[in-house]
Amino acid sequence: MIKKLLRSLARLAPGHAHGHGKAGAHDPQVYKASKVGIDRHNVSSAANRTVEGLQKAGYRAFIVGGAVRDLMLGMRPKDFDVATDATPEQVQRVFRRARVIGRRFKIVHVLFGSETIEVSTFRALSADNQETDAHGRVLNDNTFGEQHEDATRRDFTINALYYDPLSDTVLDYHQGVKDLKARLIRMIGEPSQRYREDPVRMLRVVRFAAKLGFEIDGATRAPIAHLARLITNVPDARLFDEMVKLLQSGQAYKGLEGLREHGLHHGCLPLVDAVLEPEGSDEERESALRFVRLALASTDARVLAGKPLSVGFLFATMLWHLVRHAWHQKVAQGERPITALQTAIDEVVDHQLADLAIQKRIVADMREIWMLQPRFEKRVGGTPFRLLDHLRFRAGYDFLLLRIEAGQADEALGQWWDEFAQADHEARLEMIKAASKLPGQPAAKRRRCRRTPRLEQPSE
């Protein structure tokens, strides 16, 4: 009886009221979810079960943030986050498969099969004794608070919406529904202060504008150019994560142009300059831009189709012009092609990726994709068979097709490899035999037989 009473009181608390209007200073505008475009069928079962589990345990819980925004826009969210008044330890006790992670922001990952729901506790407004660095960036933030405080702590109004799938209601503390309808991105609070608290918000506002096709509110836009230098104070790992999100937003090229437009590239993200302002002759620059546009358009198409993406392949396409330019220069200076390519790769990786904490396995994927490119040219002996069996053959071949489409390689080369991959063994041998007669193909090396060393006869 006591537990039932507690649940009833929880549902009567702010955030469980029905209807419209504000009852108090911290009460949200409440909407019927189905009236603002949310289709419950687009909500994952895992998110529903997480909210239901916490509410049954006597806590308040809502789907929150980008998932609510995307649902209202008629999009199927990629991820679902849940916000609750339960502490991380209490959340962990509710679910059998849950683990507490994080130090700066302590959250819980609740696991349902292959799906992970991120659960965070309502956070309080900034305290006077909150730990910050010299630039105002928050370093530790595990002070829990009320739901209205949690809403005010979120970055943009369109990300501060709370959805209860059980009661089919949306809670709006900062006119996020109105801004969604107006297709406007607006910061909650004073923009300069919010950017100083977390400079990554400047990257996020550009990403959302590109991804959603929204306008940026004037007051939200104004401080970015002046505060862009604060990006250098962001940990490399977070910077890399945000760059990956931008490139996988479905509007990658538009997002990169947005970073440059708002001054978030010079000295902060030199990778953007390398992509949008390539070095070399007019012909080289035109080829580089064509290659990047094709690569990012292909990436956007895969995102919109819900297909998986390789981060290694993505960064390999973005940095290819730098590698190719340095490679050709070194070959012109007399270096052997393979050695020159290896040296060029080392220089580009060391210089361009210094500001991004890219995992070693991703860099390894990039190196392999680049090093495979000259091997496609060699179609004699056993090389084609070994290349076909290579773990990164498909990625290397897709990269080759982009080069061909950008005018950087012969179309006949792509056709040859397409036929070779689909042919049977005998047909492949014939193709290699025919290719060995083409101009520029090295002669197949003859296998040298090892001679058995003669044993010296003992002298008599």
Domains of the chain: 2-182 (3.30.460.10), 191-265 (1.10.110), 278-435 (1.10.3090.10)
Q: Is the dihedral of CA 129, 156, 249, 108 positive or negative?
A: positive
In angstroms, what is the C-alpha Rg of the chain? 28
The partner residues of 378 in beta bridges, in order of sequence, read none
DSSP track, 227-256: HGGGGGGS-HHHHHHHHHHHHTSS-HHHHH
Q: Is 452 exposed, middle or buried (0-12, 13-18, 19+ CB in 10 A)?
A: exposed
pLDDT at residue number 143:
83
112 is written with which tokens? 């349902």
Which secondary structure element, helix H or strand E, spans residue 152, and what is its range? Answer: helix 147-153
Q: How far is CA 128 from CA 131, 134, 136, 145, 193, in A?
A: 9, 15, 12, 15, 14
> Which positions of the chain have pLDDT values less than 50?
1-25, 128-129, 449, 455, 457-460
Q: Report the catalytic residues.
A: 79, 81, 155
DSSP track, 260-328: HHTT-STTT-HHHHHHHS--S-HHHHHHHHHHHHHHHHHHHHHHHTT----HHHHHHHHTHHHHHHHHH
- What is the per-residue burial (b if ≥16 Cβ within 10 Å, else e) of 293-312? ebbbebbbebbeeeeeebbb
Contact 246, 303 (CB under 8 A): no
Return the SS3 of 336.
coil
Contact 408, 345 (CB under 8 A): no
Q: How far apart are the C-alpha atoms of 51 and 301, rounded to whole Å?
A: 33
Q: How far is CA 178 from CA 72, 101, 211, 231, in A?
A: 12, 34, 19, 30
Residues in the chain: 460
Contact 429, 382 (CB under 8 A): no
What's the pTM?
A: 0.80
Q: How far apart are the C-alpha atoms of 328 and 315, rounded to whole Å?
A: 20
Total Cβ atoms within 10 A of residue 176: 27
Amino acid (1-letter code) at residue 89 = E
Contact 71, 77 (CB under 8 A): yes
Cα 225–Cα 68–Cα 113 angle in degrees, nearest 5: 115
Q: Is 415 exposed, middle or buried (0-12, 13-18, 19+ CB in 10 A)?
A: exposed
pLDDT at residue number 443:
57
pLDDT at residue number 382:
92
**Residue 196: left (phi > 0), alpha (psi -120 to 50), or beta?**
alpha
Could you tell me which of 453, 397, 454 has the C-alpha nearest to residue 420? 397
Q: How far is CA 186 from CA 178, 179, 192, 225, 257, in A?
A: 11, 8, 13, 17, 20
pLDDT in tens, 180-213: 999 999 999 999 999 999 999 999 999 999 999 9
Q: Determine what percent of the chain falls in helix, strand and coil, rounding each to the nearest 5.
A: 55, 10, 35
pLDDT in tens, 16-42: 433 333 334 478 999 999 999 999 999
Which secondary structure element, helix H or strand E, spans residue 212, and what is its range? Answer: helix 200-212
**Residue 136: left (phi > 0), alpha (psi -120 to 50), or beta?**
left
Q: What does the CA dihedral 61, 65, 71, 77 come to, rounded to 10 degrees?
A: -100
pLDDT at residue number 23:
36
